[in-house]
Amino acid sequence: MKHASLASLAITIIVATMCSAWISYKSTVETEIQTLLASSSTIDQFAGIEKVKHESFDSLLKRLTPLLEGDVTVSMRASQLLVKSSFRDHCVEKLKHVLVDPELYESAVWWNEKKTHVFNNPYDCTLACDANINPWLRRLASLYCETLDTTCTQALVTMPLRDRDSSVLLATLSIYKHATVENIAHWKESVDSDKRKIYCLLQGFLHKKIEYLDSDPQVQHLANIINEQNTQLAWRTMHTKDGRINPEIFLAGLIIDKDRFLKILIKSAQANAWHHPEHPVELARIFMPNITKFLPPEDRTKWWNLFACGLLTQQR
């Protein structure tokens, strides 16, 4: 009996010690969160928001409301988290009385009320096979077609590869959607560096290593990004000299780190940082069809606002 009492006492002491340690830990964490959120540093505030991202909507509302009237970037981050949690907790209607970003709120309401309507193809698929149409426009139309006949598919491979801004992005995407690896397998040995670029990007899509070194620095750069899964290299070199986005490098970034580069895609599109405004839209459609298929043919500003909010709802 005496041994049983000692064992019981020992267990009680251990449990009490563990509870005390847990309470102390929670208290320390809570103090840290409050300190970060109350800081005047945006870096601290971002860190505080990151620490509370899994809390309930009601808890987040209490914590983040003071941040909604502060720094613009912090306010947007807080707004995004509140919207995401409102979908997670099925209480989007509560956003009505919260000072979240107005455009983000409007998009959240749209997603909450939307019907599962898939919008029709804005292009006639005969356009993709019309030899009298500019090649880049044919490729753009082909991205809205589920299937194409063999002759048309072959034309997409043999047409001039460059877009109106001298990139090969639309050629890459249309070949990826409609052709096969066998159609372009010999391109890795082509004298045309554009063909070798497309070969590298398609290897990336297929999660295959590029097994050769290229004499063209630009092609080798794409190969290095894909082979090494080097997001930093893609991020550092995705801009051209005029500050616009390099489409091929950005696609390589999306291939190796979709989540990170989708966020950059939205910001860059909203900032008009692309020479060809169709490029970011088509990348969004290729990588997130479960969102873009529901988006109405609105003006581009609203389209990107809806896409950004749709991405938040997917991440909840």
Number of domains in the chain: 2
- pLDDT > 90? residue 218: yes
pLDDT bucket at 32, cuts 50 / 70 / 90:
confident
pLDDT of 16 reads 64
Cα separation, 176 vs 304, in Å, equals 24
81 and 11 inside one domain: yes
141 and 237 inside one domain: yes
Cα separation, 107 vs 7, in Å, equals 60
Q: Residue 246 falls within a domain, yes or no?
A: yes
Cα 234 to Cα 173, 185, 201, 227, 286, distances in angstroms: 19, 25, 13, 12, 19
Cα separation, 190 vs 197, in Å, equals 10
278-308 pLDDT, tens digit each: 999 999 999 999 999 999 877 889 999 999 9
| Cα 64 to the center of its chain, rounded Å | 24
pLDDT of 296 reads 85
| Cα 179 to the center of its chain, rounded Å | 25
- pLDDT > 70? residue 115: no
- pLDDT > 80? residue 25: no
Max intra-chain CA distance, the chain = 98
233 — phi, psi (to 5°)? Answer: -65, -40
Cα 135 to Cα 114, 130, 163, distances in angstroms: 36, 9, 8
Write down the mean pLDDT value for the chain: 89
Q: Residue 261 falls within a domain, yes or no?
A: yes
Count of residues making up the chain: 316
pLDDT of 160 reads 94
270 — phi, psi (to 5°)? Answer: -65, -25
197 and 289 inside one domain: yes
Q: Residue range 128-156: average pLDDT? A: 92
189 and 220 inside one domain: yes
Q: Residue 74 falls within a domain, yes or no?
A: yes
30 and 76 inside one domain: yes
CA torsion 75→81→87→89, rounded to 10°?
-120
Q: Residue 81 falls within a domain, yes or no?
A: yes
Q: In this structure, how many other beta carbons lie within 10 angstroms of the beta carbon of residue 251?
A: 29
Cα separation, 256 vs 108, in Å, equals 29
Q: Residue 267 falls within a domain, yes or no?
A: yes
Last residue of a domain, which of 71, 91, 113?
Answer: 113
Q: Residue 31 falls within a domain, yes or no?
A: yes
pLDDT of 206 reads 92
pLDDT of 10 reads 62
259 and 129 inside one domain: yes
Q: Residue 312 falls within a domain, yes or no?
A: no
Q: Residue range 167-180: average pLDDT? A: 94
pLDDT bucket at 180, cuts 50 / 70 / 90:
confident
Segments forming the whole domain that contains residue 24: 2-113
209 and 105 inside one domain: no
Between these two residues, 316 and 8, which has the higher pLDDT value?
8
pLDDT bucket at 221, cuts 50 / 70 / 90:
very high
226 and 257 inside one domain: yes
102 and 15 inside one domain: yes
CA torsion 29→315→174→185, rounded to 10°?
50
67-105 pLDDT, tens digit each: 999 899 999 999 999 999 999 999 999 999 899 999 999
263 and 151 inside one domain: yes
203 and 172 inside one domain: yes
Q: Residue 59 falls within a domain, yes or no?
A: yes
pLDDT of 123 reads 81
Between these two residues, 24 and 166, which has the higher pLDDT value?
166
278 and 132 inside one domain: yes
